[in-house]
Structures are given as structure tokens and as C-alpha cells.
Structure 1
Amino acid sequence: MNKTKNCFLFWLMAIGLVVGAIGVASPTLAETITEYLTPTSESSPAGLDFDSKGNLWFAEVNGNKIGKLTPSKVKPGTSDGIVEYELPHANSKPQYLMVSRDDIVWFSEMGGNRIGRLDPATGIIREYDIPTPNSEPHHLFESRDRKIWFTEFEANKIGRLDPIMGEIKEFPVNEGHPHDLVVDDEYVWYTQGGKFWAQVFANKIGYLELETGKVGEIMIPPKKSVPHG
């Protein structure tokens, strides 16, 4: 179905949207798929996350916008209840997105080589340039100290944005094209799957020690496993 390119597919279990969750229905339960259209056609909606009020935020790779879906206002098969925020620069290609604990929307601009910040209270978007050109930022994660960490897929680096200072620090890692990441109290953990579409495989889980900056890797036994999220 062509329109699914511009839709969200929600697998709902009873009151999934009401409680602010996207659930995968059990095969033993009744299943329902509901579609909501984005106002911008062929927007290619991608990474998404909920805020504390239950609103669903998402990135539009081709639409060059950030969208917000309000569950209480949407109507199936329409774009009612969806608001879009256009990015300052063309062809920024936002794809990965997260909402921090203070309800600020953060997103990576793969085409613009920037990290973006959207304040839902004002609609103002601020962008932070990544020092390394063409780094292709991917996934983001908020650490306990409220720093925003992200992977630089093409640069083979891990980035850290200090929201208060507005500064980005980069940490080089071994080649493997880091994709997803999580941060605990001691380490940044990230996947290194290479580029499977180019037949380049890394098959590693990498880690960056916060205190020392030391980088290490754990090999995954299966060849061509392509670890991601």
C-alpha cells in the first residue's frame, strides 16, 4: 500500500495509545492496525519517542521536519492531530529522535551533520554543528547527567553534547560504523555492524569507558551478524 510511506503503523493492544505506548499485539489477542497520515506527503517518518504528556514525536527524513502526534486529537486515515516543525536548513534529513527527561526533543541530522534541539513549549529549534564533517550522526541517548550522546556512523566516533554549554566533544572509536548506543554510569555501549549493504561487516559491540576514554570491543561469534539496536 503506497500510502504507508507517509503513515504510522500502530499495533494496539486495547488502550495502547491512551497510556502512551506502542504495543505489539500478542497473536492470541485481537489485533488492530491504525494508520495516521503525515501532513507532508512522502515525508518518510522515522525515529519516534513519547514525551511525558503522551504525545508522540517523530522525525521526517524526506519532509525535513519534526512531527508531533497528539493521541487525543488524531483521526485514522487523516493528518488531524499532527503538527509539523520545519527545520532551519534544507536537506538536513533528520532520522533518529529522542525526548529527554525535561521533554526537550533531540534529533540527529544525517544530511546536515548537526544535532537538533526542539523546545515544545516555544517551537524553537536550535542546531549544534558536529566538528567532524560528514559524520552522519545516528542514534541518541541521554545519560544520567543529562548529556546527549550520539553515534557518528561515518566518522567512527562517539559524540557527547553538553546542553548547558552547547559544546560537542568527540571520542574516536575503532572502525566499525557505530550505530546504536546506551550509556550507564561507567560506559558508553554501542553496536558496530559495519555496512551490510556494502558487504562490510564488523560484528562487534564496542564500549567507551567514561572515566578514562578507553575504547574496547567484544566480538560477536556469528559472522555477518550486523548488530544494531
Structure 2
Amino acid sequence: MLMLKKTILAIAIAAAAAALFFTASDLIRADGSPGIALTGQVSSEKEGPMGGVVVGAKREGSTITINVFSDEQGRYNFPASKLGPGRYSLRIRAAGYDLDGPKAVDVASGKVTTGDIKLRPTKNLAGQLSDAEWLLSIPGTDEQKKFLLNCNSCHTIERIMKSTHNADEWVQVFQRMSLYAPGSTPLRPQMTVGGVQRDRTRGADVKAVAEWLATVNLHSSPTWEYLLKTLPRPKGRATRAIITEYDLPRKLAEPHDVVVDSDGMAWYSDFGEQFIGKVDPKTGKVTEYPIPVLKKGFPTGTLDLQLDKDENLWVSLMYQGGIAKFDKKTEKFQIFALPKEWQGNHTQQSMVSPSYSHVDGKVWTNNQDDHSILRLDLATGKFENLGPFEIPGANRTISAYGIPADHGNNIYLLEFGANNIGRI
């Protein structure tokens, strides 16, 4: 009975606190419309008013989250143009802190709602660190830490630091990781076909790296023996921004490239599965279009996404061995597969360039396997292989990541991992 009374009392206190936090203000503009829908101050017992905190608000039933930043006085403001009336869940992003309360707020129409936000120190700082903050925290040289940039395209650095592998086990991990295809994630790993290996060590001393990792993960200790560091929060002009997030319908979606058409629709490619998607920024509605699988059993996923002059979408099909055109009017795909004799276990079309295909009827793509440049003739549907291009004096071919075209449909090759630019 005593516990029940305490619970009821706690609820009453919480309700009273909520009433104080969320009183509607009469601060209305001269024209009768409020400029701000939701405002308040972010603070903690440790720091007092806190600037640079990301505050997110998501209306019940919506797939859109609006994020703003608190200023140097800890005050945040959501414009009325971004938040309509309704009940919103709140969240924050400030490394080292969790949201203490409140967790939700009711925004009224035509009024300014005030909600002061309290933060408390987090009990799980490791779970909040970005990859950049892990690199800042981990003891080691820049060269040692550079190795980890071969890993975090598939998973976070936190995952590495929470492991308990010893040096010998790390060597085995490196070998296993070389068999995973791009677009893999811990929830959806994809193996390459035919034992094809990807160079994940990039010429590093594997044994030395393995020994180093065994000293900075949890192999020898249940906790890290170094200080977990966080980056400074934004301030000044960096806090004057609004970030809008849109939920996607598939949990495992991996949006890679995003392009916006003249209607304001945002289109995205999926790095792990055979889809392109469309987002209506005004409503948050998402429409996804499945792409046919060309090579069953091979890794799926797309990468480069571009618009042609007529605003049809072109996408590179990676290990599926080809490129695809999506007609926005018919909502149908036209698939252009590479000739069978060009196909191998590691054939990979990562880039596509249709922007000026109307000039000469040619669409550019590549084969990341051997760094060759390919050109599709739209009239015949046939590919031309121009081969790889060597960098003068460098004794290597250019690995293009980005092949933008000029007005004459001549392309530029942007080298991946270096500073060279080629032109064809």
C-alpha cells in the first residue's frame, strides 16, 4: 500500500512538472500568427544551460523528425512552419547525456508551447560515440587508426572496440572480412561469390595491426583503460540549422545516393538491396521500386544514382552486372546487363553517367573489377569497353569513383583514394 501511495505521488508530481514545462504562451506575432511553435531551454545539473544540443520532435503517427539546435543560452526554437498542432515525442543528441524529461509535448495551434528540457549524465557513453570520437579516444598513431577506415563502411568502430579478440583471432577476422561484399551490414551480411577477396588491409602489417587492436579492445579488460572523448558541441552559426529526417519503410534500407528532381521529390539508391526509392519531403510518403535481380546468388545493392535530361533515373547495379534506367512516367525499369563474356565473380558497376546522353546517345559506366570504363549505346543497347586508363608516371590505373560528364558528354574520372582527375 505504501508503494502504491508513493507511485501515485510520483505520478502527481510528474503531472505537475509537465504542466509547468508545457504552458501555452501568448507570444503571437503582430500579424496574429506565431513564428515559433515550440521553444524551451536545455539544461543539466552539471552544465546549466547547454548550447549545441540537438533537439528532435516527431509527431505521433508521423515518419518525419524535425531537429533543431539549442543556442549558447541553451534555448531551442521550432518554427511554426515545421511543427503543426499535435503530440510530439522528443529526443536529444548531446554526447555524454540522456534525456531526463520531458519525453513528449502537446503543440497547440496558433500558440507558442514552451517545454524546458532537462538532461542527465549517460550511463552508456560508449554507445553514443561517433566513429570520429572513437578514433579520437583510441590510443595509437594516425597510421594505426587509418586502418579502421577500411572497416567502418560496413559496421561501426564501436563494434570493434567492444570485441574481445586477441591478436591471433584478429588475423582470422581480417581474412573473413575480406570475403564480404560492399553493402554488407551486421544484420545483413553478403558474401562475395567464388571466394573473391576484397583487400581490407590495404598493404598494412596485418600482425602489427592485430596486436594493436588486441590492446585497445576489451580483450584484456572488461572496460577500456583509456578516456572516452567527445567532440565539442556546435556553437554560433553551426547551431542555426534545421535537419529533417524521413523514416524509410524497410529496417535494413541502406540509402546511398540521393538526387532531387524538378518536382522536389528526393530519390535514393539502396546500397544493400535491389531498390530505388522516392520520398515526398512535404508528406514523408515513401514509394519504393524493386529492381529485378540479374545474377541470382550474387550480392545485391545499388550505388550511383543520376538523372538524365528527361529526369529518368539511372542506377548502377554493382555485383548484379549492369545498369538500369527507371522511367518516371511508366514507373518501369529497363535493364542493361553486361555481355556474359564480360561477366565474372567480381564484375561491379559502381558508377553511371547519363546526364548528357542526349548529346550522342551514350551512357557511361565502369567496371570496378579491373577499373575499365564502359559506354552504352542507347540505339543498339550494346556496350563498348574502353579499358582501364593509366595515370602517367604512377604505374597504376585510375580507379574512378565519380564519372561526371561535361556538356559534350566527355567524362571526368575522379580517383578513389587519391587526388587525380582524368578526362576522356
TM-score bracket, normalised by the shorter chain, equals 0.5 to 0.7
Structure 2 letter corresponding to 1:177: Q
SS in 2 for 1:137: coil
Deviation string, structure 1 residues 139-177 (Cα, Å, up to 9, x no partner): 111111221111001111101111222211211124441
TM-score by length of 1: 0.61
Give the Å deviation of 1:92.
1.0
Structure 2 letter corresponding to 1:208: L
Provide the residue aligned with 2:273 in structure 1.
Answer: 112
CA contact (8 A) 2:254 2:271 kept: yes
For the residues of structure 1 that align with 2:93 and 2:262, how far apart are their CA atoms? 27
CA contact (8 A) 1:109 1:115 kept: yes
Give matches, 1:124-143, under 5 Å. 124-132=285-293, 134-143=299-308
Give the Å deviation of 1:228.
2.0
Structure 2 letter corresponding to 1:129: P
Give the Å deviation of 1:77.
5.6
For the residues of structure 2 that align with 1:75 and 1:91, how far apart are their CA atoms? 36
SS in 2 for 1:208: strand
Deviation string, structure 1 residues 162-202 (Cα, Å, up to 9, x no partner): 122221121112444111211111011012222xxxxxxx1
Q: Unpaired runs of 5+ in structure 1? A: 1-37, 47-60, 63-73, 195-201
Q: Unpaired runs of 5+ in structure 2? A: 1-91, 95-127, 133-152, 154-183, 186-234, 391-395, 403-424
For the residues of structure 2 that align with 1:149 and 1:172, how far apart are their CA atoms? 13
- Do structure 1's residue 220 and structure 2's residue 388 form an aligned pair? yes
Instruction: Mark the structure with the bigger radius of gyration.
Output: 2
CA contact (8 A) 1:191 1:204 kept: yes
Give matches, 1:1-229, under 5 Å. 80-132=241-293, 134-173=299-338, 174-175=342-343, 176-183=347-354, 184-185=357-358, 186-194=361-369, 202-222=370-390, 223-229=396-402
Higher helix share: 2
**RMSD in angstroms over aligned alpha carbons?**
3.1
For the residues of structure 1 that align with 2:288 and 2:317, how far apart are their CA atoms? 16
For the residues of structure 2 that align with 1:39 and 1:131, how far apart are their CA atoms? 39
Higher strand share: 1
For the residues of structure 1 that align with 2:366 and 2:268, how far apart are their CA atoms? 19
CA contact (8 A) 1:192 1:227 kept: no
For the residues of structure 1 that align with 2:253 and 2:332, how far apart are their CA atoms? 20
Deviation string, structure 1 residues 104-160 (Cα, Å, up to 9, x no partner): 111011223210111123221100011116431111111112211110011111011
Give the Å deviation of 1:79.
9.2
CA contact (8 A) 1:114 1:127 kept: yes
The runs of at least 4 aligned residues of structure 1 exceeding 4 Å deviation read 38-44, 74-80
SS in 2 for 1:216: strand
Provide the residue aligned with 1:13 in structure 2.
Answer: none
Structure 1 letter corresponding to 2:314: W
Aligned length: 159
